[in-house]
A and B are shown apart, each in its own frame.
Chain A
Amino acid sequence: MTTVWPWLSLAGLGAFHGLNPAMGWLFAVALGLHRQSSRVVWLSLGPIALGHAISVATVLAVVAAFGSTLDPDRFRIAAAVLILGAAGYTAIYGHRHRVRIGMRTGMAGLALWSFLMATSHGAGLMLVPPVLSLCLAGHADALAMASSLPISLAAVAVHSIAMLTVTAALSLAVFAWFDLAVLRAAWINFDRLWTLALGATGVALLIQ
């Protein structure tokens, strides 16, 4: 019972990240349109998911490494402060980044782009609370590196599969059936939702 919700929220966050046009599905559609090929849309999914997964995994690995050196309460507060900092950063510097990857990118460039977007948006930090609760479920008083590693890897897998599924469904559907004119009305401000989600994550962790 206690372990179902964290997994569901990891998957839900994966779906949320996949839904955000800035996380890759729109780039996959654009590359398909430029190269007039649905195959390119399919091929783009791998690098987008991979870049995202590596970013999320790196963040969780760093957090887990620190987590193993702190007691759970201190760790929880440190993580909350870090996440609130990330929320502040995305609110203020959200889209003030160097643009390094353009429309002629290859698949390696696309993976790098996805990694940079996920990292600069703090995608991995959003997963800290569910992963933390999974790790603590087994060890009520301490975070053990040995058990947090497989849990973190499984968390990355669940999150990435959900993210990839939504990214794939959206990009393939939009490429095949929709005119991009839908963006004009349907592209709600994900940056703001994202900042709110990060902020809520940080606050939830703090008052837990």
Chain B
Amino acid sequence: MATWRPDPSFYPSPRMAAKAPKETLAYVAAFDPDRKRPDAIAVVDVDPASPSYSQIVGQVDMPNVGDELHHFGWNACSSCLCPNAPHPHVERRYLVVPGLRSSRLHIIDTKPDPRSPKIVRVIEPAEIAEKANYSRLHTTHCGPEGIYVNALADRDGKAPGGIFLLDHQSFDVLGQWELDRGPQKLAYDFWWHLGHDTMITSEWGTPDTFENGLVPEVLLGSKYGRRLHFWDLHKRKHLQEIDFGEEHQLVFELRPAHDPTKAYGFVGCVISLKDLSASIWTWYRDGDQWAVKKVIEIPAEPADPDLLPPVLKGFSAVAPLVTDIDLSMDDRFLYVSCWGTGDMIQYDVSDPFAPKETGRVRIGGIVSRASHPKATNGALSGGPQMVEISRDGKRVYFTNSLYGAIDPQFYPEGIDGWMVKLNVADGGGIAFDENFFVDWPKGHRPHQVRLEGGDCSSDSYCYP
């Protein structure tokens, strides 16, 4: 329903969004790796003044089993204020929640009671296949032409994966986004520079190479994704491809600068075939082309092979496995999840070509199994994974599961889910909030976190 004034959670610029009130609730995707009980969106109380702080206070179960909830997003956000396509009188109200494995799309209403969200529409995979020719739904973003959802495969589970549009009011599937996809085949993440009319997409692989876990031959053959694609956001046309080279595999999470006048961003590469290191790359505008530069390399840590899962034994080292990154609203701090070693690292990226480490905590990890002050069972499994930052940049939340079929390849003893929170010091530096530890209920593992009112990977802006 249209409103008379813009949704109060919409901000013209990231500078203004950073002054938003503190979040009191977090929505977290939780899935059953055994695909026996329905996945869910859990509601976590993140208000320190509340008696139920650090507890799951609500949950909405999906109507089916085996969806594998993964990433999700809002129906509308600050990009509704953009001057070229204004539609600011919609509410940020619905969560758009895809099933990565099922290709089913759920629309969840967070009003009137944000602690008790309800499913209001389910779009079945057949409808998406019919209207957009895609499957394996991954990331969603609200944007200039509605809700953008990307998919890792076509309707038959093959390449190419791509993006389709949903109407932001009716949630009808509008169809495939691309008009000219050029050489792009693989898909993983996507986002954009609204100030530069540019979309960027990254690459993972086709479902046959990940739905039963990573395939070593594919990885060692450098057949997983290793490219970035740059697109004209409005002509929907592929412009440029950048290949990171055979050494680099799994080019994942894209974090463009929030300031729409800046033309750079960061992307994580999970693993180097040369030395198991992970890396962060900056993409930037170089003349009339886009270019990339490796700005951070996180080395593998030598380890006793007896402590390593079969996939890493031969290397006698733990790979950092950078599987998620997130950029603070002021474009100053980049958070890097090292799911293998168990580190969460904070870098000052004020100079995007010369990051400086400003903080580091360790929790879980394949070998370290580091604990948390509020954890009761000592050694923790899993490692820092999906990370989300509050709009004011003072709080960071993360969970520990990567993907159902890949979790046991690196954590063969199983992963018990948890969610934790960091407090951020003003000039940089991070520390655990010792009172926040969600010991995730058994049977589910947590993945992406979305914060009430928006967070640092939910909104994009048209004004500096």
Contact = CB atoms under 8 A, between A and B. Distances in A.
Most chain-B CB neighbours within 10 Å: which of A22, A29, A98, A103?
A103
A95 B86 contact: yes
Contact of A180 (B86, B261, B463): B463
A95 B462 CA distance: 17
Interface in A6-29: 21-22, 26-27, 29
Interface in B174-210: 194-197
B234 A99 contact: yes
A22 B10 CA distance: 17
Contacts of A101: 84, 234
Interface string A147-172: 00000000000000000000000000
A131 to B, nearest CB: 28
Interface in A105-127: 105, 113
Interface string B451-464: 00000000000111
B144 A103 contact: no
Given A30-B463, A103-B197, A189 B4 contact: yes
B304 interface: no
B234 A189 contact: no
Give the interface size bracket for A toward B: 20 to 34
A99 B82 CA distance: 11
A140 to B, nearest CB: 43
A96 B6 contact: no
B197 A192 contact: no
Given A180-B12, A181-B16, A189-B5, A103 B145 contact: no
Nearest to B144: A99
B16 A96 contact: no
24 contacts: A27-B84, A34-B261, A95-B86, A95-B87, A96-B146, A99-B84, A99-B234, A102-B144, A102-B233, A103-B195, A105-B84, A180-B13, A181-B16, A183-B12, A184-B11, A187-B5, A188-B4, A188-B5, A189-B3, A189-B4, A191-B2, A191-B87, A191-B89, A192-B89
Given A183-B81, A187-B81, A192-B2, 4 more contacts: A97-B85, A102-B144, A102-B234, A184-B11
